[in-house]
Amino acid sequence: MSQKDQRQKEDKERKEKEQRESIKENGELELSHRIHLLCVIGEIEGHECLSSNSKTTKYEHVLPKLAAIEDSPDIDGLLVLLNTVGGDVEAGLAIAEMIASLSKPTVSLVLGGSHSIGVPIAVSTDYSFIVKTGTMVIHPVRMNGTVIGAPQTYDYFKQMQDRILGFISEHSKASRERLEELMLDTGILTKDLGTILVGEDAVREGLINDTGGISDALKKLYEMIQAG
């Protein structure tokens, strides 16, 4: 084997190793056609670390990566895969705002589910898909842990809820009024408020653009890149 062939082999092995480590640590991968794949899975972790036994998406990893994607001349588009139960509201909104502010084409695909604060992330892209069995759960902001029972506490959660509703309605076809109805529905979730939307229901409500799978999402992203 020549020195050139040896170097090419070593470079290939190094890149494959880097890709495996990136998938293992961050759920990220650069596909062909200069597309970056970002996976939002498990619970979205905020300022507090979750149990090591939990599958998490760490926002302090995602935000720098999104900034790098925007700055990189080697990346033409972003594909976001979602299967998340939700998580930290501030962290989820930060990720959603970053994705929405990217100048490069972006497409999202909801797989198992995109619940709670995962909804803003799903709608933050230029175009969104959901598989037919995928679910989205819309519910009010919940109070976890010990809270002070004062009017200021209610005002804080109301303000946070308004921010979420405002973002979703701005980045989807769903109206704010309809989103509030879905969020406060008492007849679907047992002993809780909210609504579960499955596949085509999310499309009919205007949250998601279309039903489809990975081939549809990639095809749409390629079209947007070529049109740009």
Q: What positions carry a catalytic annotation?
A: 116, 139
pLDDT for the residue 145: 42
Residues paired with 195 in a beta bridge: 138
Q: Among candidates 133, 120, 144, which has minimal Cα distance to 207?
A: 120
Tell me the per-residue pLDDT of 182-220, one tens digit each, with 9 for 90 and over. Answer: 887 766 655 556 788 899 999 999 999 999 999 999 999
41 neighbors 55 (Cβ within 8 angstroms): yes
DSSP single-letter state for residue 13: H
**Both tokens assigned to 136:** 């989205």
How many angstroms separate the Cα of 209 from the Cα of each of 35, 107, 129?
20, 10, 6
* Higher-confidence position of 228 and 216: 216
pLDDT digits (tens, 9 = 90+) for 82-116: 998 877 888 888 899 999 999 999 999 999 888 88
- Say what the pLDDT of residue 147 is: 44
Owner of token pair 């976001």: 80
In this prediction, residue 148 has a pLDDT band, given cuts at 50, 70 and 90, of: very low
- Say what the pLDDT of residue 14 is: 67
Q: What is the pLDDT of residue 159?
A: 77
Q: Is the pLDDT of residue 28 over 60?
A: no
One-letter amino acid for residue 181 of the chain? E
Over residues 32-59, the pLDDT tens digits come to 558 899 888 887 876 666 566 667 667 7
- Each residue of 152-185: pLDDT tens digit? 555 666 777 888 888 998 999 988 888 888 887 7
CA distance 57 to 89: 13
Band (pLDDT 50/70/90 cuts) for residue 23 is very low
What's the average model confidence in pLDDT over 3-27? Answer: 59
Long-range contacts of 146-149 (CB under 8 A, 24+ apart): none
d(Cα 110, Cα 203) in Å, to the nearest integer?
A: 12
CA-wise closest residue to 63 among 102, 33, 35, 32: 102
pLDDT at 110: 94
